[in-house]
Amino acid sequence: MADSRASLSIDGKEVTELPVLKGTAGTDVIDIRTLGSHGYFTYDPGYLATASCESAITFIDGGKGILQHRGYAIADLANNADYLEVCYLLLNGNAPSKAQYDEFKGIITNHTMVHEKLVHFFHGFLPDAHPMAMLCGVTGALSSFYHSDLDCDDPAQRKRTAHRLIAKMPTIAAMAYKYSVGQPFVFPRNDLSYAENFLHMMFSVPTEEYKVNPTVASAMDKIFTLHADHEQNASTSTVRLAGSSGANPYACIAAGIASLWGPAHGGANEACLEMLEEIGTLDRVDEFVLRAKDKDDSFRLMGFGHRVYKNFDPRATVMRETCHSVLKELGIQDPLLDVAMALEKVALEDQYFVEKKLYPNVDFYSGIILKAIGIPSSMFTVIFALSRTVGWISHWDEMLTQEGQKIGRPRQKYTGELNRTFAPLSDR
C-alpha cells in the first residue's frame, strides 16, 4: 500500500506519479513497476539503489550497525542460540519451542549422511581441485538423487529440500576437504552437535580417536550463525534470480555457491589471511599501516571496514570475543596471529582508522579463528557457503510463496551499433 507518491518530471514535463512504499523499517522505496509503460527504465548498475523484492527474513541498517533476523538482533542470537535454532528461525519465522527444536534437530541429524554413489563424484575431480569447485558441482548434482521430490509448488517438498541441504552441506564440505588432502571420508555422527559433527568429519582419522574441543566447537557454531544470512547480497540475489525461473533448489543453491566463490564476495577472510602472510612479521606492521594511510599506495588493509556497515559490524563485536577465547584456549604461537592482533590494536586505537571507521570486521576475526583451528584458507569460503545455505534456502522458499512472483528479467542501457549491413564473407 502506498503511503505517499513521488512525481517524475523530465525536461519540466510531469511523466507520472509513482507510489512510495514503506516497509517495517528502513528506507522508503519508490515503486517503479509501471515506469516501463511510459517508455522509461531506471539505470542502477550493481542494484545499489534498487529493492528487488520484499522480504521478512533479515533487516540491515548499515549506518546504525543493525543486523536482525526475523526481528532478533544478531548478537542475541549468537550468544543465546545455537546455529540450528537460527536455522529454524530463518526457515519458519519464529524461534522454536523446546519440542519444535528437538524435532527439528532430530530431522537434521538424521539427514546428515549422503548417498554412497555421491562418493564417486569426488573421485572424478583432480586431486588439486579447489574445494569450492567440488562443493558447487556436488551440490548441483544432489538434484539427480532427489529427482522425484523437486516440485517447487509443494510446501512439503520444499521443506524436505531445506532440511536435506542444511543437514548434508557439512558432510559434503568435509568430504571436499578430505579429498583435497588425500584422507578417507569420515561419516557423520548422530551423537554430536552440528558444529561438533563438522569438526569431527574435518579432522578425525580412522587410526585414532578425535576429541572435539568445546571452545572450538562453540566458535565454529558462532561462525555458522554470524554468516547464516545477510539480506540481498550477491549470492542470495543469485539464488532468487535462478529460483524465479523455476530451477530446482539444488541448482539454485549451486548458483549461490558459484556467486559466493567470487573474491569480491565470499573470499574476504581468505584475502585477510593472504594480507597477513604478505606482512609476515610484527616488525613490518608499522610499514604496512603507513602504506594503508597513503592514498597514493594501492595497498589496503583487508578485513577492516565494511561496504554495508558504516559505523560498525555488529557481527564483529561477537566474533572478536570469540576469537580471543579461541586463541587463549589453544595457546598457539603463530607469527601471523601475532601480526593480526597487532593490526587489531592499531585499528581500534589509531586516530586515522577510528575517524574513518576502518574497524576490524567479521571476516578479519573469522579468518583468524579458522586458521587457529587448522582449517586451510582454501576452505574458508566453503565454510561461508555451508553457513549461508540456510539463508539461501529461506529466501528461495519465501520467494516461491509470494503472490505475483515473476521470473527475473533486468533491463539494460544499450550502447552498441545499430542498423549495420552484413556483407558476405567474400566481400569482407
Compute CA distances 330 → 95, 141, 209, whole Å: 33, 38, 19
Q: How far is CA 237 from CA 169, 234, 278, 399, in A?
A: 20, 5, 33, 11
CA distance 70 to 68: 6
Q: By the 8 A CB rule, do 393 and 161 touch? A: yes
* Cell 543469485 sits on residue: 238
Query: Choosing from 229, 313, 363, 397, which is the catalytic residue?
Result: 363
Tell me the backbone φ, ψ of residue 160, rounded to 5 degrees.
-60, -40
C-beta of residue 56 within 8 angstroms of C-beta of residue 93: yes
How many CB atoms are located within 10 Å of the residue 141 CB? 16
Give me the catalytic one of 306, 313, 395, 397. 306
Are 95 and 72 in contact, with CB atoms under 8 Å apart? Answer: yes
- Whether 44 is catalytic is no
Q: How far apart are CA 165 and CA 352, in angstroms?
A: 44
Contact predicate 370/238, CB 8 Å: no
Please say if 120 is a catalytic residue: no
The owner of cell 569480491 is 264
Active site residue ranges: 306, 363
